[in-house]
Amino acid sequence: MQPPSAPSYSSGLVWFRRDLRTEDQAALYHALTQCQQVHCAFVFDTDILDALPRTDRRVEFIRETLVELDAALRTLSGHDHGGLIVVHHAAAADAVPDLAAALDVEAVYTNHDDEPQAIARDASVRTRLAAQGRALHTFKDHTVFERSEVMTQAGHPYSVFTPYKNAWLKKVDAFYLSSYPVERHAARLAPRPAGHRRPVPTLAALGFEPAGLAQLKIPTGSQGAHQLLADFIERIDKYEDTRNFPAVKGPSYLSVHLRFGTISPRLLARTAHERASQGSPGAATWLSELIWRDFYFQILYHHPHVVTDSFKPAYDAIAWETGPEADALFAAWCEGRTGYPLVDAAMAQINQTGYMHNRLRMVVASFLVKDLGLDWRRGEAYFALQLNDFDLSANNGGWQWASSSGCDAQPYFRIFNPVSQSEKFDPEGKFIRRYLPQLAGLPNAALHAPWKAKPLELQSAGVQLGGNYPLPIVDHDTARQQTLERYAVVKASA
DNA sequence: TTGATGTTCAA
DNA sequence: TGAACATCA
């Protein structure tokens, strides 16, 4: 017997978005338990894709993943034509209600997406479905806790991470971390209706060019995610000791899979939580990173103004550098031509692979804002285009943290020294040499600040400053002073 | 009858 | 996990 609150339909449609898996998928589970027949759809949303350059690793990642998801749904359903309906290249706000009508489903099921644009899109879809007499049911799926699930005693959303984390850990239990048993109900997956049996469209059909995911060895789909997880489980106990060194294989590399939902956040949190409770400090630290993720989702939900403005309004009084010189500095940062090897190597990493080590994200962000005096939003926008794992909430949170304008951000007078960060976190220069081969011949002592190297060292390493490697585009100590002055308006208005 | 123990279910 | 419900001697 169904509880009275759970609806019961003859047919429903699951709209996949950033939850591209069958395992432990909230919307899919609820659809399967509430509908006799369940259809599945994904929309390559032109409202998002049209703004992107024609080569985008993420579009390729999604496409590869959909091919796997389609096969997984077919296997689960047990019939040849079970599985995914791809509505390609349309505005999702139109395509979903249209498809719901074409299939004549009573309800559409999807998972919460709390980015402001997604909220607006989903509200419009809900209205259009309602006009046809159809329901839209949405569920938490991307985080362990969302929206207003973790609140202060006073009933406010947290804006400081540590108390948020403590409350999160206090609230979490085995049930919140348990998986939705999707497989048990897979028999209700509908056969794909005739007229909807097209294969997943090719990249070319979507108007994109190959981005070389295979060469980058970025594993896609649920299978790729599980492969990475298995590898990380072997290393998780060492995570705390290794995670800050970009030359070391310390991170999980699962961020892109969390982005597209090719692995369940609950599964990851459960794995980390179990291991942490058995006394693994690495697992506890990694769990903390997952909690940061929930924290920033929750911040974006409660404070959507962070998309365009500083979390702390006082920081909007800061005057950033503008004009042609600032534009030239920005271009040098983007292209990894700052003359600071760790910054340039990090930018080479993001440009070549779509990934950047987390420590380096902080270093290059601090450099853009506090050495070049450029608006954090310019860096945020560049990351948004380049990062395979780009997520508005975490990216915005990270940039506002670095610029000190965010919730629980570092204080404005804390300015990373790009050379000391380099000496500390890439002491042997392994990471720098990997991405800046033109500097590989320099001794370790000269690698972090080549402009201080002896002429003979440079010569024997084949380095010509201002030639095959740039001179520093700014002097850190001078820039530091200017930044303190630039940020003085914050103190004044506080 | 009732308390002890097992099962289900929630999101 | 833990509340609610079911079963049983």
Give the tens place of pLDDT for each residue, A160-202: 999 999 999 999 999 999 999 999 899 899 998 888 888 999 9
> Which residues of chain A between 161 and 190 are close to nucleic strand C, CB under 7 A?
173-175, 178
DSSP assignment of A22-79: STT-HHHHHHHHHEEEEEEEEEEEHHHHTTS-SB-HHHHHHHHHHHHHHHHHHHHH-S
pLDDT digits (tens, 9 = 90+) for A419-442: 999 999 999 999 999 999 999 999
**Strands annotated E in A213-357:** none
Span A246-265, pLDDT tens digits: 999 999 999 999 999 999 99
Check residue A4 and give its pLDDT. Answer: 44
**Which range has the worst mean pLDDT, A83-92, A98-107, A409-418?**
A83-92
| Closest nt by CA–C1' to A175 | C1
pLDDT for residue A3? 41
Share of chain A above pLDDT 90, in %: 91
The set of long-range contacts for A347-351, using a CB threshold of 8 Å and a minimum separation of 24, is A348/A435, A348/A436, A349/A246, A349/A435, A350/A383, A350/A386, A350/A387, A351/A386
Segments making up each domain of chain A, as ranges: 9-141, 145-178+222-302, 313-489
The pLDDT mean for chain A works out to: 95
| Other Cβ atoms within 10 Å of A286 Cβ, number | 27
Question: CATH number of the domain at A313-489, please?
Answer: 1.10.579.10
Query: Is the CB of residue A89 inside 7 Å of nucleic acid strand B?
Result: no
Q: What is the pLDDT of residue A441?
A: 98
Q: Is A292 a catalytic residue?
A: yes
**What pLDDT is attached to residue A193?**
87
- A13-63 per-position pLDDT tens digit: 999 999 999 999 999 999 999 999 999 999 999 999 999 999 999 999 999
Question: Reduced to 3 DSSP states, what percent helix, strand and coil does chain A have, rounded to the nearest 5?
Answer: 55, 10, 40
Nucleotides of B under 7 A from a protein CB: 9-11
A145-178+222-302 CATH: 1.25.40.80
Can A358 be counted among the known catalytic residues? yes
pLDDT value at residue A2: 39
What is residue A1's predicted lDDT score, i.e. its pLDDT?
A: 35
Question: What are the structure tokens assigned to A354, written together?
Answer: 């779509």
A142 CA – B9 C1', rounded, Å: 22
As ranges, strand C nucleotides with an atom below 7 A of a protein CB are: 1-2
* The one catalytic residue among A320, A321, A417, A423: A320
A168 an active-site residue? no
Q: How confident is the model at residue A5 (pLDDT cuts 50, 70, 90)?
A: low
pLDDT one-digit tens code per residue, A285-337: 999 999 999 999 999 999 999 999 999 999 999 999 999 999 999 999 999 99
Location of structure tokens 């059909």: A205
Q: Which nucleotide is nearest to A174 (CA to C1')?
A: C1
Q: Provide, in whole angstroms, the distance separating residue A181's CA from nucleotide B6's C1'.
A: 21
Question: How far is Cα A207 from Cα A203, in angstroms, rounded to an integer?
Answer: 6
Fold annotation for A9-141: Rossmann fold (3.40.50)
Helix (H) or strand (E) run with residue A218 in it: none
Q: Please check whether residue A463 is in contact with residue A450, taking contact to mean a CB–CB distance below 8 angstroms.
A: yes
Annotated catalytic residue: which of A146, A289, A423, A457? Answer: A289
CB-CB contact of A370 with A481 (8 Å): no
Check if A351 is active-site.
no
**CA angle A405–A409–A415, rounded 5-degree value:** 85
Query: Which residue is listed with tokens 């006394």?
Result: A279
